[in-house]
């Protein structure tokens, strides 16, 4: 459910009894997207300070 809420679920196609799953969807929940970006920025800054 968390992945569904975050928008990190594969695209799904179905026709009759056949079902295909494609790539991960690009729609992220805005709050989670912001938190991921903040976290990555902190990690990058921390790595640059250690070098």
How high is the pLDDT of residue 48?
A: 82
Would you say 10 and 24 are in contact if contact means Cβ atoms under 8 Å apart? yes
Enumerate residues 6+ apart whose C-beta is below 8 A from 45: none
pLDDT at residue 46 in the model: 86
Residues in contact with 20: Cβ distance below 8 Å, sequence separation at least 6, in sequence order: 12, 13, 14
pLDDT in tens, 8-48: 777 788 888 888 887 766 666 778 778 888 988 999 888 88
Model pLDDT, residue 34: 83
Domain ranges for the chain, please list them: 2-50
Q: Where is pLDDT greater, at 41 or 7?
A: 41
pLDDT of residue 1: 65
């Amino acid at each position: 459910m968390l992945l569904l809420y975050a928008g990190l679920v594969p695209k799904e196609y179905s026709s009759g009894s056949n079902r295909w799953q494609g790539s991960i969807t690009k729609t992220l929940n805005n709050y989670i997207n912001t938190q991921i970006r903040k976290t990555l920025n902190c990690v990058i800054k921390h790595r640059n300070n250690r070098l």
